[in-house]
Chain A
Amino acid sequence: MWQWLFKLSSPKWFYTISGQLMPWLAALTTLLLGIGLVWGLAFTPPDYQMGENYRIAYIHVPAASIAMGCYYMMACMAAAFLIWRIKMADMVAKACAPVGMTFTALALFTGSVWGIPTWGTWWIWDARLTSTLIMLFLFIGVMALRSAYDSEAAGSKACAVLSLVGVVNVPIIKYSVEWWNTLHQGASSLSLSNTSANPPEIWLPAFFVGFGLLGFYLIAIILRTRNEILIRERRTDWVVDILNTNKGFS
């Protein structure tokens, strides 16, 4: 396990392994998203009071979870980069910011679309919504900070520090609905019985969409990281070899 992780911290190994993994990951993602979306959007029973519009939760909840997970991942990579100076960790952290920003924006957007008919408003400054908006700004801030530096090394270090400072926001998002009065509802406690609230027939499709979106998230991170590897390692022999063999296709 450790040896495998250690190998992944070599750009060449990461490039090779991720290239082999990609078709499997893509197939699994398509399968999970296909099953989950068709099942969740078309075959689950409508909610007893929201009717059909609760189905937006099949996108909203996984998107928000992945956005938070992405922030943790970015912070872990930042810590690994700062402590062990692993360049791969910085490349993955760089890939995390735009992908995390997109998932956060998706969660905020779907939440607003759901909020209009359900709450009667698309926005309220409650703890859950505000802390999620702060996470969106943190992702954007990390991207802006990196591009503000001419020197790559200085930008990486500054981004790593900002990522670590912002990580405290993620548990705040998670527990905001318990610590304060919010308009946003708390986490649902899932039930195994079909005759109680939050039955499997409603949450099971959400898990399929969730793992499907997780696969999509990993694909996005891997593709961005592979691009970054090619750019940063462009002067090494193995990258020159790859670029030469692929010349015919470009």
Chain B
Amino acid sequence: MTAPRKQRMAIVGFIVAGSAIAIGLVLFALNEGINVFYTPTEVAQGVVPTGQNFRIGGMVKTGSLKTGELEGTLVEFMATDCAEDIPVTFTGVLPDLFREGQGVVADGFIDSNGIFQASQILAKHDENYMSAESVAAMEASGATCDP
């Protein structure tokens, strides 16, 4: 390989490596800020700044969901990551996928009673796609807490 080609190859390598390092450092510095939600464990550890809006993400704890009679009325549930639980209340229309044992991302703040007042509830879908028959077959083997 000739010298100018080698030189150009080095320049291309420098461009790719340089931009990768620059962007890598930015992402490393932003690390926490890039997360779209905090887990209940992080909230319990106090890493979340108090008195401002943020999102929590977890699973709707099985057996904790209390809904009103009508759609759009008060909903209460515990958001869990299997280690810590956070009580959440919400008034409004829920996504169709929202139910116990399902992943959830809630936007809101923690009030003085330690209850997360959600202004928006999003359902987090997992990466598992299957038919109802498969689910029936799997449930026979027992479900686990895996948010």
Contacts and interface: CB of A to CB of B under 8 A. Distances in A.
Interface of A: 45-50, 54, 57, 79, 82-84, 117-121, 124-127, 161, 164-169, 172, 179-183, 185-189, 194-199, 201-202
Contacts of B134: 48, 194-197, 199
A199 B128 CA distance: 9
Contact of B138 (A125, A197, A201): A197
Given A48-B132, A168-B16, 19 more contacts: A54-B129, A84-B5, A118-B97, A118-B125, A121-B122, A125-B36, A126-B36, A164-B15, A164-B16, A165-B19, A168-B23, A168-B24, A172-B23, A181-B38, A183-B124, A195-B134, A195-B138, A198-B129, A199-B130
Contacts of B11: 82
Contacts of A47: 129-131
Contacts of B89: none
Contacts of B57: 181, 183
B103 to A, nearest CB: 8
Nearest to B96: A117
B37 A181 contact: yes
B8 to A, nearest CB: 5
A186 B127 contact: yes
B127 A124 contact: no
Interface residues of B, number: 45
A199 B138 CA distance: 12
A123 to B, nearest CB: 11
B5 A57 contact: no
Nearest to A185: B127
A47 B128 CA distance: 9
A242 to B, nearest CB: 33
Interface string B1-38: 00001001101100110011001100100010011111
A195 B122 contact: no
Given A180-B34, A180-B36, A188 B128 contact: yes
B129 A127 contact: no
Contacts of B36: 124-127, 180-183
18 contacts: A50-B97, A82-B8, A82-B12, A84-B5, A120-B95, A125-B36, A164-B15, A180-B36, A181-B37, A182-B36, A183-B36, A183-B37, A183-B105, A188-B128, A198-B127, A202-B129, A202-B130, A202-B131
B98 to A, nearest CB: 8
Contact of B5 (A83, A117, A168): A83
Contacts of A195: 133-134, 137-138
